[in-house]
Amino acid sequence: MTGIGAERTQEIADRVERFVRDIVVPFERDPRRDHHDCPKDELVTELRELARAAGVLTPHILPDGSHLSQSETAIVLAKTGLSPLGPLACNTAAPDEGNMYLLGKIGSPEIKEHFLKPLVEGRARSAFFMTEPADEGGAGSDPSMMTTTCRPDGNQWVVNGRKAFITGARGAKVGIVMAKAEEGACMFLVDLPDPAITIDHVPNTIDSSMPGGHAVVTIRNLRVPADQMLGHPGEGFKYAQIRLSPARLSHCMRWLGACVRANEIATKYANRRQAFGKTLIDHEGVGFMLADNLIDLKQAELMISWCASVLDTGSLGTNESSMAKVAVSEALMRVADRCVQVMGGSGVTNETIVEQVFREVRAFRIYDGPTEVHKWSLAKKIKRDWQKANP
Ligand SMILES: Cc1cc2nc3c(=O)[nH]c(=O)nc-3n(C[C@H](O)[C@H](O)[C@H](O)COP(=O)(O)OP(=O)(O)OC[C@H]3O[C@@H](n4cnc5c(N)ncnc54)[C@H](O)[C@@H]3O)c2cc1C
């Protein structure tokens, strides 16, 4: 991927940073939240209008539909992440950002016009339907366990099954649904809401940044026109692969931004608060925590930058994004935990975003592949490589 160059990227990143810090941050105390503290759509819509006016809506996709390179995206998305509301305001949030990337890569002109355009314009939200309820033996860490089925019927496909943890399903206009046919996994684009897809419930989860929460849904005789299948029957996982690494990495980018801000807040606290006759920062225990944060944040930034540069060569970057996802999510967890600790009691209140960032990063260690699953797949690669080198 060629991209737009360092200077233009920095110009966009600076504009995004000013917008997030000056305009979005004051909305962090806005009471328009749902019952588990996710921003309501009316709040998101207002923020998007402000982003549009500031010229920072969907800043990683250019007016001609082309994307910034992954290396450039990393710089811009980290700035949108400086507030948990920033990615929503700027339209760089999950799952829309990954879904837009996928549709931009492989959608037909008709699919781009109908499904992608409203997403890029920030007028609609989308949801990605892959995971299934664990207690019914469905797909989770192991997507090959998928139990949702699809079968052709004339020029339509009929989909049946149950899904779980579907971020943003409630309120989404666009759905990407994975189901299994005789030939293997298939991926469909669907208009939402559809009476054949019902939201059973939305569990109360540890995180609170994604509108609509993470729904459990039932799909009953959903009829999808054949031309809304992406690719051919059996190619679903191939297309999921295209989305996988960039979507994984963009979570790292956004949560890096959030942890940079949490660390700024903790640093301010440590430089102002007195205890035992001196400022906290002068107590070695506190100073070392902030020093460790600096090291972890820089390592996270470098891992993201390295993985982005691999993706920019056109590689799927499966192993590299596994390594980056584990390294970054674990490093950010340490950073967020230290920020809470440095701030004492105020670290666990919602007076600052620090406690939310802590909760968000905890969930991030599970979605887009739990740490152990990435390590397991890396271990398989290590074994394969060793066997190849030692026949
Ligand atoms: C906040 C959030 C948002 C999500 N959004 C979406 C979404 O929009 N769409 C969607 O389709 N899904 C979504 N998911 C689901 C997510 O992708 C799954 O939770 C994840 O893939 C793990 O699946 P599981 O929960 O069924 O865990 P399980 O598969 O039951 O695994 C449980 C644990 O077992 C361990 N484990 C599993 N396999 C291995 C292995 N091979 N080696 C070692 N340990 C292993 C890991 O520690 C893992 O955490 C979301 C999840 C969360 C938490």
Encode pLDDT of 188-229 as tens digits.
999 999 999 999 999 999 999 999 999 999 999 999 999 999
Is residue 167 lining ligand 1, measured as CB closer than 6 Å? yes
Residue 36, pLDDT above cutoff 90: no
Q: How many whole angstroms separate alpha carbon 262 and alpha carbon 47?
A: 21
Section 39-61 average pLDDT: 97
Section 261-285 average pLDDT: 98
Q: How many whole angstroms separate alpha carbon 127 and alpha carbon 188?
A: 12
Q: Is 217 helix (H, G, I), strand (E, B) or coil?
A: strand
Q: How many whole angstroms separate alpha carbon 322 and alpha carbon 219?
A: 31
| Residue range 311-369, pLDDT digits in tens | 999 999 999 999 999 999 999 999 999 999 999 999 999 999 999 999 999 999 999 99
- CA 329 – ligand 1 centroid, Å: 14
On the CB side of 142, how many CA atoms lie within 13 Å of its CA? Answer: 7
Average pLDDT value for the chain: 96
Cα three-residue angle 204-208-210, rounded to 5 degrees: 105
> What residues have CB less than 8 Å from 333, skipping those under 6 apart?
361, 362, 364, 365
In order of their start, the domains of the chain are: 6-93 (1.10.540.10), 127-232 (2.40.110.10), 237-389 (1.20.140.10)
Section 253-267 average pLDDT: 98
Sign of CA dihedral 138, 139, 142, 145: positive
**pLDDT for position 322:** 97
Is residue 128 lining ligand 1, measured as CB closer than 6 Å? yes
**Distance from the first to the final alpha carbon of the chain:** 37
Closest-lying ligand 1 atom to the alpha carbon of residue 207: 1
Is residue 165 lining ligand 1, measured as CB closer than 6 Å? yes
Section 82-97 average pLDDT: 98
Section 64-79 average pLDDT: 95
Closest-lying ligand 1 atom to the alpha carbon of residue 206: 1
Residue 243, pLDDT above cutoff 80: yes
- CA 363 – ligand 1 centroid, Å: 10
pLDDT band at 1 (very low <50, low <70, confident <90, very high): low
pLDDT band at 35 (very low <50, low <70, confident <90, very high): confident
- CA 236 – ligand 1 centroid, Å: 19
| Residue range 159-176, pLDDT digits in tens | 999 999 999 999 999 999
Is residue 95 lining ligand 1, measured as CB closer than 6 Å? yes
Range in 102-106, 137-141, 344-348, 355-359 the model is least confident about: 102-106
Residue 157, pLDDT above cutoff 80: yes
Q: Ligand 1, residues 37, 38, 97, 131: which to mutate, most atoms within 8 A of Cβ?
A: 131
Q: Counting beta carbons within 10 angstroms of the beta carbon of residue 50, is it exposed (0 to 12), middle (13 to 18) or buried (19 or more)?
A: middle
pTM of the model: 0.97
| Residue range 372-382, pLDDT digits in tens | 999 999 999 99
- Size of the chain, expressed as the number of residues it contains: 391
Q: Counting beta carbons within 10 angstroms of the beta carbon of residue 234, is it exposed (0 to 12), middle (13 to 18) or buried (19 or more)?
A: middle
